C-alpha cells in the first residue's frame, strides 16, 4: 500500500470521490492504463493510494519503482456521480470493501476540513487488521463520525469487533434507518457492492440515494 502525492501542472481542483486515469507507457510503446480514486480532499494536494497486487501490471511499478521526479500521464479528475460535497447533506452511510475505502476517505477528509458536516457512519470490511488502510486516521475520525470495522478472514487475538461479512442483517443493525433518508456511498469489489446495495434498498433506502462504485475483484481497476 502506498499513498502517492502527485504534482499536476494546472490542476483544476477536484471533488471528493473522483478518480484519475493513470497511463504508463514503456520505452517500446507498450501501454497500460488504470483508474485510481483520489485519496485526498479537494483542499489538499492530489494523492492516490495504490494497493500493490503481486500479479499486477501497474501497481507494482507505482509502489516499488516510482521515485520523486518521475512522471506519468493522467486524465482527470473524472467522475460526477460518486462524489460528495457539503451541499449534498446526509446523514452519510459510507460502506467500504477493501480498497473501496479510498474515495470514501476523501469524502471523510473533505467533511472534516469543511466543518459542521452531516453525521457519518463508516462501515469498513477488510480481510484482516493488516489490510485496513488509513488505520490511524480512522481510529480518530473526528466528531460526528462512527467507524465500524469488520475483519472477515483473520482477527487479531482479543479482537472484540465484528468478523462477518456485511449482509442484510448486519446492515439493518448498523446502517442509518431509512427514516433518516440517508445518502449512501458503497465502494469495493463488484460482488461486495452488489450485496450491500441490494441490502440497503431492501432496508428502504431510496435507490437514487445509494451510490455505487465497483472495483475489480482484486481491488484495483
Partner 1 sequence: MSFVSRGFRGRRRDHDADPSRVPPGQSVTYDFPVLSAGPTPQTAIEEWTFSIVSGGTKKTWTWDEFRALPSETVTVDIHCVTRWSKLDTTWEGVAVDTLLDDVEHDAAYVLAFCDGGYTTNLPLEDVTDGKAWIAFEYDGEALDPEHGGPARLLVPHLYFWKSAKWIRGLALRDEDEPGFWETYGYHLYGDPWREQRYAGD
Partner 2 sequence: MEPLDGNAIAGLLLDVFGAEMTNATGICANCGATGKVAELEVYLRAPGTVVRCRGCAAALMVFVTVREITCVDLRGLAQLVND
What would the DSSP string read from start to end of 106-130? HHHHHHHHH-S---EEEEEEESSGG
Give the one entry of partner 2, partner 1, none that residue 42 binds, where binding means its C-beta sits below a cut-off of 5 to 8 angstroms depending on kind: none
Give the one entry of partner 1, partner 2, none that residue 72 binds, where binding means its C-beta sits below a cut-off of 5 to 8 angstroms depending on kind: partner 1
Complex with partner 1: residue 56 or 103, whichever CB lies closer: 56
Q: In terms of Cα–Cα distance, which of 36, 30, 24 is closest to 70?
A: 24
Residue 215, strand partner residues: 189
**Minimum distance from CB of 144 to partner 2 (Å)?**
27
What would the DSSP string read from start to end of 176-193? PPGGG--EEEEEEEHHHH
Give the one entry of partner 2, partner 1, none that residue 75 binds, where binding means its C-beta sits below a cut-off of 5 to 8 angstroms depending on kind: partner 2
For residue 164, give the C-alpha cell: 462477518
Q: Note the helical H segments in 36-146.
A: 59-60, 101-114, 135-139
Using the rule CB under 8 A, which residue among 5, 8, 32, 78 binds partner 2? 78
Looking only at residues 7 through 26 of this chain, which bind partner 2 when binding is defined by CB under 8 A? 19, 21
- Binding-site ranges for partner 1 (CB under 8 A): 23-27, 29-32, 55-58, 61, 65, 70-73
Amino acid at each position: 500500500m502506498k499513498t502517492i502525492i502527485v504534482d499536476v501542472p494546472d490542476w483544476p481542483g477536484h471533488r471528493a470521490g473522483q478518480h484519475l486515469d493513470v497511463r504508463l507507457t514503456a520505452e517500446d510503446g507498450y501501454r497500460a492504463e488504470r483508474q485510481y480514486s483520489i485519496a485526498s480532499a479537494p483542499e489538499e494536494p492530489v494523492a492516490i493510494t495504490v494497493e500493490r497486487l503481486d500479479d499486477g501490471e501497474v501497481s507494482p511499478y507505482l509502489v516499488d519503482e516510482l521515485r520523486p521526479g518521475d512522471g506519468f500521464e493522467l486524465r482527470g479528475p473524472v467522475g460526477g456521480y460518486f462524489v460528495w460535497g457539503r451541499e449534498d447533506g446526509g446523514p452519510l452511510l459510507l460502506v467500504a470493501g477493501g480498497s473501496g475505502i479510498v474515495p470514501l476517505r476523501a469524502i471523510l477528509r473533505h467533511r472534516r476540513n469543511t466543518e459542521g458536516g452531516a453525521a457519518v457512519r463508516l462501515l469498513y470490511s477488510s480481510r484482516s487488521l493488516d489490510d485496513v488502510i488509513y488505520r490511524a486516521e480512522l481510529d480518530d475520525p473526528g466528531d460526528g463520525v462512527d467507524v465500524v470495522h469488520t475483519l472477515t478472514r483473520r482477527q487479531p487475538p482479543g479482537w472484540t469487533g465484528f468478523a462477518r461479512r456485511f449482509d442484510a442483517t448486519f446492515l439493518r443493525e448498523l446502517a442509518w434507518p431509512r427514516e433518516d433518508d440517508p445518502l449512501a456511498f458503497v465502494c469495493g469489489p463488484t460482488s461486495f457492492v452488489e450485496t450491500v446495495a441490494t441490502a440497503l434498498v431492501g432496508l428502504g433506502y431510496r435507490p437514487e440515494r445509494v451510490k455505487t462504485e465497483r472495483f475489480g475483484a482484486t481491488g484495483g481497476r
